Chain A
Amino acid sequence: MLTYLVRRTLLMIPILIGVATVVFFSMRLAPGDPVRMIAGPLASEQRLDEIRQELGLDRPILVQYGIWFRNLLRGELGHSIASGVSALHLVAVRITATLELTVSAFILSLFIALAAGITAAVYQASFYDNLVTFGALFWLSMPSFWLGLMFMFLLSVRIPFLPISGRGGAIWTWQGIQHLILPALTLGLPGAGATARIVRSSVLDTLSQDYVRTARSKGLAERVVVLKHVLRNSLIPVITMTALRLPWLFGGAVIVETVFAWPGMGRLLTAAIFNRDYPVVQAAALIYTAIVVLANYAADVLYSVADPRIRLQ
Chain B
Amino acid sequence: MRFGRKRLLTAMMLGALCLSVGVSALAQNQGGTLTIGFGTRLDTLDTFRSALAAPLKILGLVCDTLFAFDNDLRPQPVLVESWTQAENGLEWSFKLKEGITFHDGTPFNAQQLKDYLWGFFIDQSFTGWMFSAVEDMVVTGEYTIDFVLSEPSPLLLFNLAYPWNIIQPKGAYDEYGDRYGFDALVGTGPFVFDEWVQGEKIVLKRNPNYTHGPDFVGNQGPAFLDGIVFRILPEPATLINELRFGNVDLVVGLPTTHLDVVEGDTNLTVMSRPSYYSQFLEFNMDRPITNDWLVRNAVNHAIDREALINAAWSGAAAVSYGLVAPASFGYWPGIVDFGKEILTYDPDAAVRLLEQAGWMLPAGGRVREKNGERLKVKLVTTNSPTYQTLGEATVAMLQEVGFEVELFTFELASYYSVALEGDWDLMHMAWIDESGYSVLQSKATIAGIEGGTNDARYRDAALDSLITLAQTTTDPEMREAAMATAQQKIVADLVYVPMTVPLSYLGAKTGRVGGLDGLSQHPWWLDLMLGLDLYIK
Interface residues of A (CB under 8 A from B): 30-34, 36-45, 47-48, 79-80, 82-86, 90, 93-94, 97, 149, 152-153, 156-157, 160, 163-167, 258-264, 267-268, 271, 274-277
The contact sample of 20 A-B pairs, CB cut-off 8 A, is A31-B418, A33-B417, A38-B43, A38-B49, A42-B51, A42-B438, A43-B126, A80-B43, A83-B49, A164-B246, A166-B200, A166-B231, A258-B234, A259-B237, A261-B232, A261-B238, A263-B198, A271-B41, A271-B43, A274-B411
- Once A31-B418, A276-B413 are accepted as A-B contacts, the answer to whether A267 and B43 lie under 8 Å apart by CB is no
Q: Which of B434-492 contact A (CB under 8 A)?
A: 438, 442, 450-453
Q: Are B51 and A84 in contact (CB under 8 A)?
A: no
Write the chain B residue with the least CB distance to A86: B178
Residue B404 lies at the interface, judged by CB distance under 8 Å to chain A: no
Q: Which residue of the partner chain, among B43, B164, B231, B451, contacts A44 with CB atoms under 8 Å?
A: B451
Across the interface, name the chain B residue whose C-beta is closest to A267. B199
CB distance from B269 to the nearest CB of A (A): 20
- Kindly name the residue among A44, A86, A163 whose own CB sees the greatest number of chain B CB atoms within 10 A: A44
A292 to chain B, nearest CB (A): 22
Taken together as a complex, chains A and B put the C-alpha atoms of A263 and B414 apart, in Å, by 27
Task: Report the nearest A residue to B442, measured CB to CB.
Answer: A41
Does the CB pair A36–B198 fall under 8 Å?
no
Closest to B453 in A: A41
Would B181 and A84 count as touching, CB distance under 8 A? yes
Q: How far is the CA of A85 from the CA of B50 in the complex (A)?
A: 13
Partner of B237, one of A84, A149, A163, A263: A149
Is B71 engaged at the interface, CB distance under 8 Å to the other chain?
no
B182 x A84 contact (CB < 8 A): yes
Say whether B43 contacts A83, CB under 8 Å.
yes
A260 to chain B, nearest CB (A): 7
Residues in B neighbouring A37, C-beta threshold 8 A: 412-413, 416
- Please state if A263 and B49 are interface contacts (CB–CB under 8 Å): no
In the complex, A157→B243 CA distance in Å? 11
- Are A30 and B431 neighbours in the complex by a CB distance under 8 Å? no
Q: Give complex CA distance A37, B46 in Å.
A: 15
Assuming A83-B46, A84-B181, A165-B246, is B452 touching A36 (CB within 8 A)? yes
Residues of B within 8 A of A90 (CB): 198
Chain B nearest Cβ from A93, distance in angstroms: 5
Cβ distance B323 to chain A, nearest Cβ, rounded Å: 14
B521 contact set on A, CB distance < 8 A:
none
Closest to B164 in A: A42
> Does B304 reach chain A (CB closer than 8 Å)?
no
Q: Which residues of B are found within 8 Å of A80, using beta-carbon distances? A: 43
Nearest-neighbor residue (CB-CB) of A37 within chain B? B413
Give Cα distance in the complex from A41 to B246, angstroms: 36
| Per-residue contact bits, chain B 98-130, to A (CB 8 Å; 1 contact, 0 not) | 000000000000000000000000001011110
Is the Cβ of A32 less than 8 Å from the Cβ of B417?
yes
Contact pattern, B 148-173, Cβ under 8 Å of A = 1, otherwise 0: 00000000000000001000000000
Residue of B with least CB distance to A260:
B238
B242, CB-defined interface residue at 8 Å: yes
A30 → chain B closest CB, angstroms:
7
- Chain B residues, Cβ within 8 Å of A165: 233, 238, 241-242, 246
A156 touching B43, Cβ below 8 Å:
no
The tally of residues in B whose CB lies under 8 Å from a CB in A reads 51
A259 in complex: contacting residue of B181, B238, B414, CB < 8 Å: B238
Give the complex CA separation of A109 and B176 in angstroms: 44
Within 8 Å of chain A (Cβ to Cβ): is B245? yes
B43 and A82 contact, CB distance less than 8 A: yes
Chain B residues near A94 (CB, 8 Å)?
198-199
B344 close to A (CB within 8 Å) = no
| Nearest chain B CB to A3 CB, angstrom units | 41
Q: Does B44 contact A (CB under 8 A)?
A: yes
Bound state CA distance, A260 and B234, in angstroms? 9
Closest 10 CB pairs of A and B: A32-B413, A263-B199, A40-B51, A82-B43, A83-B44, A31-B417, A31-B414, A43-B126, A84-B178, A263-B200
Q: A-facing mask of B494-511, CB < 8 A → 1, else 0? A: 000000000000000000
Contact (Cβ within 8 A) A30 B414 = yes
Measured CB to CB, the nearest residue on chain B to A43 is B126
Are A79 and B178 within 8 A (Cβ)?
Answer: yes
Any chain A CB within 8 A of the CB of B215?
no
Q: How far is the CA of A50 from the CA of B457 in the complex (A)?
A: 24
CA separation between A30 and B198, bound complex, in Å?
27
Q: Is B179 an interface residue (CB 8 A)?
A: yes
Q: Please, what's the 1-or-0 string for B399-413, where 1 marks a CB less than 8 Å from any CB in chain A? A: 000000000001111
A270 to B361, CA, bound (A): 47
Could you say which residues of chain B place their CB within 8 Å of the CB of A271?
A: 41, 43
Q: Which residue of chain A has its CB nearest to the CB of B438?
A: A42
With A31-B418, A32-B416, A258-B235 as contacts: A156 and B198 at CB distance below 8 Å: no
Q: A30-B414, A261-B200 given. 7 additional CB < 8 A pairs? A: A31-B413, A44-B129, A156-B245, A160-B245, A261-B233, A275-B43, A277-B43
CB pair A47 B126 closer than 8 Å: yes
Given A94-B199, A274-B413, A85 and B178 contact (CB-CB distance below 8 Å): yes
Among candidates B128, B233, B410, B451, residue contacting A45 with C-beta atoms closer than 8 Å = B451
Please pick, from B41, B235, B431, the residue contacting A41 in the complex, using a CB distance under 8 A. B431
Does B52 interact with chain A (Cβ within 8 Å)? yes
Give min CB distance, A71 to chain B, whole Å. Answer: 16
B442: chain A residues at CB < 8 Å are 41-42
Alpha-carbon gap, A234 to B186, bound state (A)? 61
Check: B197 CB closer than 8 A to any chain A CB: yes
- List residues of chain A with CB within 8 A of the CB of B414: 30-32
Residues of B within 8 A of A163 (CB): 246
When A84-B181, A267-B199 are in contact, do A42 and B126 touch as well, CB less than 8 Å? Answer: yes
Check B417–A38 contact: CB distance below 8 A: no
Kindly supply a per-residue 1/0 record for chain B positions 216-234, scoring 1 wherever the CB is within 8 Å of any chain A CB and 0 otherwise: 0000000000000001111
Q: How far is the CB of A56 from chain B (nearest CB, A)?
A: 15
A121→B414 CA distance, assembly (Å): 51
Pair B413/A83 contact, Cβ less than 8 Å:
no
B128-147 Cβ-contact flags toward A at 8 Å (1 or 0):
11000000000000000000
- Contacts A83-B43, A94-B199, A165-B238 given; indicate if A42 touches B452 (C-beta within 8 A): no
Q: Smallest CB–CB gap between B531 and chain A, Å?
A: 23
| Docked CA distance A37–B44 (Å) | 13
B52, B199, B233 interface centre (most CB from chain A within 10 Å): B199
Flag B31-65 by CB within 8 Å of A: 1 or 0 each: 00000000001011010011111000000000000
CB closest residue in chain A, given B124: A47
Complex formed: what's the CA distance from A222 to B305 in Å? 72
A164:B49 contact, CB within 8 angstroms: no
**In the complex, which residues of chain B have a beta carbon less than 8 angstroms from the beta carbon of A259?**
235, 237-238
Closest Cβ neighbor of B132 among chain A residues: A44
The answer to whether A164 and B43 touch across the interface, beta carbons within 8 angstroms, is no
The residue of chain A having its C-beta at the shortest distance from the C-beta of B199 within the complex is A263
- Give the nearest-CB partner of A97 in chain B: B199
Contact call A164/B52, Cβ cutoff below 8 A: no
Is the CB–CB distance between B198 and A40 below 8 Å? no
Q: How far is the CA of A153 from the CA of B232 in the complex (A)?
A: 19
CB proximity to A under 8 Å, residues B378-421: 410-414, 416-418
Complex: chain B residue closest to A163, CB-CB: B246
Closest B residue to A90 by beta carbon equals B198
- How many whole Å from A100's CB to the nearest CB in chain B? 13
CB distance from A147 to the nearest CB of B (A): 13
Most central of A33, A36, A43, A48 by chain B CB within 10 Å: A43
Instruction: Pick the most buried of A32, A34, A90, A262: most chain B CB atoms within 10 A of its CB.
Output: A32
- Alpha-carbon distance A36/B451, docked complex (angstroms): 11
* Cα distance A247–B127 in the bound complex, in angstroms: 43
B412 touches A274 (CB 8 A): yes
